[in-house]
Copies of this chain bind each other. A is one copy, B any other.
Amino acid sequence: MDLSYSPEYEAFRQDVRKFIETNRESAPRGEAMKSDRVQSWQKLLIEKGYTARTIPQEYGGHGGEPDIIKARIIGEEFARSQTPGGLGGQGISMLVPTLLELGTEEQKKRFIPPTLAGEMVWCQGYSEPNAGSDLASLRTSAILEGDEWIVNGSKIWTSTAHLADWIFCLVRTEPEAPKHQGISFLLFQMDTTGIEIRPLVDMTMARNFNEVFFSDVRVPKDQIVGKRGEGWFVANAILGHERDSLGDPNATLTRLNRLIELARQETMDGQRLIDNPVFRDRMMKIQARAMSLRFNDQRVLSSRINNTDSRLARMISKLQGTELRHDLEGLAIDIMGEIGLMYGRSDYLTDNGSWQQQYMYFLGLIIGGGTSQIQKNIISERGLGMPKEPKFEQKAEA
């Protein structure tokens, strides 16, 4: 066990800190996606190699060598100083790696630089109302007519649809093929005729997601990544990355500290709730779990650096992280009692109602990005080597 970083990395950490101290005044403060401030901050970070580190310069990246530790240090320092890091979003986190791996040279040159620069914003069109856990059963169709795909169908959970310039989208192009082999991966503009966006209200009452409907949307033939019918494999080349970020234990620990503060402040019948032994016990249970997950993450990072196996440790993190966070938020509500019901403008609203909001939001995350049930299937099959359920579908389709 060696939790220290080498002097080279410690020096790197100091560089990052110095950069942040010197430049944090220029960082965005909640400006809109494509504002000048956002874009020039992004430009500066790419220049320094604090975002898009390993993406070649010819595609608008920094062109550095992959280095997991440096990436972690950057993440830690920006988080610690509460400074906005490089742009995220599904274009940068999902489409760019996909194009790097499977795009044509022309696609890379056309799409990656403006995406990295924050000039081209993307949304993701994967899930459909009838294709959730069973994503591969998606039905949005694209039929080739001459030089164009004609897209019809609908997508759901499209989080930035109303802000996006482009969409990367899974569509069924070979209806006769087995379900995983009939899908293609298309890119098209969101202002194309025939696209309708409807906001999707969720249980927190926010409108973070959308439904997107396509009627005879025309997409140029060459805006396909990979070959016809290979879209499932294109999408899966990077799909695993998404799950890791849900239920981050560092955020959970920060949140737990806030909860402890809350329990120190709130009282019932004049007694501080931090002194209630039943709540203390629940808090400590959660703290132990949160610490476990944080160390588990460190173990996963370490095994990536040292090329050792930590498959199971990685697989459990979404399942456990989201469940734990949901429990933590629920504990806060129980501690606050009726105060924990407040939701909307009132003098008694605590932390902007974030406890209620997060309690529900993390229930959503237990479901989203692969429900807990799907996660357990994956853990048992890929982690423990247990067999898949016998397939019925082939029988049914036969």
**Quick one: copies of this chain in the complex?**
2
Total number of A residues with any Cβ neighbor in B under 8 Å: 7
Tell me, yes or no, whether A270 is within 8 Å of chain B by CB.
Answer: no
B-side contacts of A278, CB under 8 Å: 277-278, 281
Tell me, yes or no, whether A345 is within 8 Å of chain B by CB.
Answer: no
B-side contacts of A390, CB under 8 Å: 392
Q: How far is the CB of A95 from chain B (nearest CB, A)?
A: 38
B-side contacts of A276, CB under 8 Å: 277
Interface of chain A, helix or strand or loop or mixed? helix
Q: How far is the CB of A312 from chain B (nearest CB, A)?
A: 23
Instruction: Report the Cα distance A392→B277, complex, angstroms.
Output: 52
Instruction: Report the Cα distance A277→B273, complex, angstroms.
Output: 14
Q: How far is the CB of A332 from chain B (nearest CB, A)?
A: 18
Instruction: Report the Cα distance A395→B396, complex, angstroms.
Output: 13
B-side contacts of A277, CB under 8 Å: 276-278
Q: Contact mask A382-398 → B, CB, 8 Å, 1/0?
A: 00000000101001000
- In A346-398, which residues have CB < 8 Å from any B CB? 390, 392, 395
Q: How far is the CB of A300 from chain B (nearest CB, A)?
A: 32
Q: How far is the CB of A80 from chain B (nearest CB, A)?
A: 35
Instruction: Report the Cα distance A354→B235, complex, angstroms.
Output: 58
B-side contacts of A392, CB under 8 Å: 390
Q: How far is the CB of A278 from chain B (nearest CB, A)?
A: 5
Q: How far is the CB of A100 from chain B (nearest CB, A)?
A: 42
A-B pairs with beta carbons under 8 Å apart, 7 shown: A276-B277, A277-B277, A277-B278, A278-B278, A278-B281, A390-B392, A395-B395
On A, residues with C-beta under 8 Å from B are: 276-278, 281, 390, 392, 395
